[in-house]
Amino acid sequence: MRFYTKQHPFYCGIDLHARTMYVCILDQAGETLVHRNMTATPEALLKVIAPSREQIVLAAECMFTWYWLADLCAEHGIPFVLGHALSMKAIHGGKAKNDKIDAHKIAVLLRGGMLPQAYVYPAEMRATRDLLRRRMHLARKRGELLAHVQNTNSQYNLPAIGKKIAYKANRDGVAERFADPAVQKSIEVDLALITYDDALLRQTTSKFPLRNWGDKPTVWNRGKPL
């Protein structure tokens, strides 16, 4: 785990939410200069850090709203640290917990060189990473549907389907194996969703080619690099 250990005259911990943020600014001696709740907007943040903007470092926990904060800091040349959420939970876990306390703890960890860092993904790469995550989500759901068909077949003690229903050509007649109309409908829904997922997964990689950035790991699909 990497920790942010650089020294600055001022340290800003932010407990960030979708619409609001709690901001805590400490000086090098640990004195609290700012500790307030405000709207989560670039204008509000730039205004509150204005007196110490040239010598401050900002930190926030890694959650779904950090993109704009990282981009704002990059645009204005302000050092930004993204806290590793899981490790931060292990370090600053406590009985008393609220936005005000969390913002102060982030600032304290940052000042003490004990804030575990997460990787700040570059802005130009985030959209592709998020698309890959959605593709992975679809692939997992498709796997669950395939497993449900096979499990249902075993549940009714029917002979093995034999062919891999992961391939569309092998799905004909699968639903008709079941005598109960309700079970047939359930399997038909599974197969329809699998077919739709197949199309979505193809579109994800054909319309948006997945690139390989230097030392970043290559994305693989069925043994072949995308």
pLDDT tens digit sequence for 81-133 = 999 988 887 666 666 789 999 999 999 999 999 999 999 999 999 998 999 99
Q: Residue 211 corresponds to which amino acid?
A: R
How far is it, in rounded angstroms, from Cα 200 to Cα 219?
A: 17
Beta pairing partners, 25: 12, 34
Question: Over the stretch 20-47, which tens digit does the pLDDT of each residue have?
Answer: 999 999 999 999 999 999 999 999 999 9
Element (H, E) at 83: strand 80-83
Mean pLDDT of the chain: 90
In terms of phi and psi (left: phi > 0; alpha: psi -120 to 50; beta: otherwise), the region of 31 is beta
Quote the domain boundaries for residue 62. 3-116
Question: Are 58 and 110 in contact, with CB atoms under 8 Å apart?
Answer: no
Q: Are residues 109 and 146 in the same domain?
A: no
- pTM here is 0.77
- Dihedral of CA 53/56/61/67: which sign? positive
* Helices within 22-169 (DSSP H only): 42-49, 67-76, 85-92, 99-111, 123-155
- Residue 123: which residues within 8 A CB-CB, separation 6 or more? 67, 70, 71, 74
Q: What angle do the packed helices 99-111 and 85-92 form, to 10 degrees?
A: 100
Mean pLDDT along residues 183-191: 97
Tally of domains in the chain: 2
Interval 122-171: pLDDT, tens: 999 999 899 999 999 999 999 999 999 999 999 999 999 989 999 999 99
Q: Which two tokens stand for residue 159?
A: 């002979």
Residues 111 and 192 in one domain: no
116, β-bridge pairs: 3
Same domain, 106 and 132: no
Q: Which tens digits make up the pLDDT trace of 49-78? A: 999 999 999 999 998 999 999 999 999 999
Residue 214's pLDDT is 44
Q: If residue 37 lies in a helix (H) or strand (E), which one and from where to where?
A: strand 32-39
Both 103 and 140 in one domain: the answer is no
**Of 83, 116, 149, which residue is a domain's last?**
116
Decide which of 84, 116, 148 is a domain's last residue. Answer: 116
Cβ-contact 11, 107 below 8 angstroms: yes
181 and 213 fall within a common domain: yes
Residue where a domain stops, chosen among 116, 134, 161: 116
SS3 218: coil
